[in-house]
Amino acid sequence: MPQLAAIQMNSGADPLHNLQRAEQGVQQAAQQGAQLVLLPEMFLSLDGQRYPAIAADPQYVQIVAGWARQYKLWLVAGAVPMTSPDGDPRVRSASLVFNDQGELVARYDKIHLFDADVGDAHNRYRESERFAPGEELVVVDTPVGKLGLAICYDLRFPGLFQRLREQGAEIISIPAAFTYTTGEAHWQVLLRARAIETQCYVLAANQCGWHDDQRRTWGHSQIIDPWGQVLSELADEPGVVVAELNAELLVDVRRRMPLEQHKRC
């Protein structure tokens, strides 16, 4: 059966250091037989002041593409800062999908931006100050199934996931930097709900630990099957989580409870 993998990281400010850690995770996933691998949100850097420079430098995308080619796997480069195609001076948070030849085959720009006050040490999050929102949903064919793309705060908007299912998604990737406070309260229940509602595999890669003296993320990257069962989960340390994708289970769950046929609104 195909293997899925999610890489959990504790990214700091330095992109080159984070690249080294990310490649270690990709290599480890490849050694465990993963065919589709997901990196977390902003794995290159969690320092917002660096995002414009990262977006303007093509070397980062080229390096990540090289990993997909080198390790012969499909790689979802979590979310990285990318130039806005409409000329907006803000960057976009983009999830990039590379095939096993290192070719960029899909890009999803995060639609929902995290503007919230969560009561942690950082307190005030305003992604819209640095990021421009995307507009289009993306589902891409992969060797292990149709992959729908989402990013972090999108998780709180079930309509987006329903539309991904309507467009044929069988797996949904969710790279994240979910805060410790919101993650402890909501992360797993939201992930399981999205898996159950869409009858999809959910592949979730989160950041973890303290990133500076104010920002702390929850971790607990995991893989969930279409029945809502957590197949594999990490705690709050960097690492790689791997699980099998059972295509027969996905078909059986959808056959026994045909939600798409029953939908009336």
Predicted confidence band at 250 (pLDDT cuts at 50, 70, 90)?
Answer: very high
Whole-Å CA distances, 223 to 93, 232, 259: 22, 6, 22
**DSSP type of residue 207:** B
Residue owning tokens 């920002």 = 215
Which whole number is the average pLDDT over 115-127?
A: 88
- Which of 48, 25, 2, 9 is CA-nearest to residue 206? 9
Q: Which residues contact 96 (CB under 8 A, 6 or more apart)?
A: 61, 64, 76, 77, 80, 82, 104, 106, 107
Residue 262 lies in a domain: no
Residue 179 lies in a domain: yes
How many C-beta neighbours within 10 Å does residue 7 have? 30
| CATH code assigned at 226 | 3.60.110.10
> What pLDDT, on a 0 to 100 scale, did the predictor assign at position 114?
97
Dist. CA 248–CA 182, nearest whole Å: 34
Predicted confidence (pLDDT) per residue in 19-43, tens digit:
999 999 999 999 999 999 999 999 9
> What pLDDT, on a 0 to 100 scale, did the predictor assign at position 206?
98
Spatial contact of 35 and 3, defined as CB atoms under 8 Å apart: yes
Residue 192 has pLDDT above 80, yes or no: yes
Dist. CA 38–CA 54, nearest whole Å: 20
- Which of 246, 186, 185, 176 is CA-nearest to residue 217? 176
Residue 123 has pLDDT above 80, yes or no: no
Range of the domain at 142: 3-255
Structure tokens at 2: 């195909």
Report the side by side order of strands in the sheet with 36-38.
104-109, 91-98, 74-83, 36-38, 3-8, 239-244
Percent of the chain with pLDDT over 70: 100
Residue 74 has pLDDT above 80, yes or no: yes
In DSSP terms, 108 is beta-bridged to 95
Determine the 3-state secondary structure of 165 from DSSP.
helix
Whole-Å CA distances, 127 to 41, 83, 91, 98: 13, 15, 10, 26
> What pLDDT, on a 0 to 100 scale, did the predictor assign at position 160?
98
Q: For the chain, state the CA radius of gyration.
A: 17
Predicted confidence band at 120 (pLDDT cuts at 50, 70, 90)?
Answer: confident
Q: Which residues contact 116 (CB under 8 A, 6 or more apart)?
A: 125
Dist. CA 72–CA 3, nearest whole Å: 13
Residue 263 lies in a domain: no
Determine the 3-state secondary structure of 104 from DSSP.
strand
Instruction: Give catalytic residue positions.
Output: 41, 110, 152
The structural domain count of the chain equals 1
